[in-house]
Amino acid sequence: MKVMARGSTSALSGEPSVRFAKPEDIPRLVGFIREFAAYEGLEEQLAVSEERLARYLFEEPKGEALIVEYAGEEAGFALFFETFSTFLGKPSIYVEDIFIRPVLRGRGLGKALFSVLARLAVERNCGRMEWACLNWNEPAIRFYLKHGAQPLREWTTYRLTGADLTALAGGSGSE
């Protein structure tokens, strides 16, 4: 696997390469996100736009994205951000989404992305890397377990969105 520097392009034929996304990748990232939503049956939850993604990845960065390429083709992405662990007293990487186009799975592309994320976590002195996975997604679960991930069965993820989030905040929200 070849890891490309920020801003680099080009992928070796037959060997995955991973690079940081650039502003010109926004349309492709939104396309990947749409494919991912369709795969998970969550299209009705999509609110992403190219403008919003560009704003929060490049203009007012709140996250980062990696793109994996294979045989000269963009094949998938990972979107992640840093959090902080109070118990460890160190930063962590939270992987919001990782997606490989279904027709290109089984070629080591997910592992390439996952390895780069792990390397970034180590380089950034993070204490851990975390993510969530839908309970029905058996292929992803097998992939994560194969690479040493442990499910946190004693934790339940909660989410507050939309009108409930705005109500708790005590007013109207933006966007």
Residue positions annotated with a catalytic role: 144
**Residue 14 pLDDT:** 74
Query: Could you tell me which of 131, 124, 121, 138 has the C-alpha nearest to residue 152?
Result: 131
Query: Which ranges of 82-161 does DSSP label H, i.e. alpha helix?
Result: 109-123, 138-146
**Residue 11 pLDDT:** 44
Average pLDDT over residues 72-77: 94
Least-confidence region, from 14-28, 111-125, 154-168: 154-168
Q: Give 132 or 161, the one with higher predicted confidence.
A: 132
Residue 8 has pLDDT above 50, yes or no: no
Domain coordinates of the chain in residue numbers?
2-169
CATH architecture, domain defined by 2-169:
3-Layer(aba) Sandwich (3.40)
Instruction: Give the tokens for residue 91.
Output: 């930063």
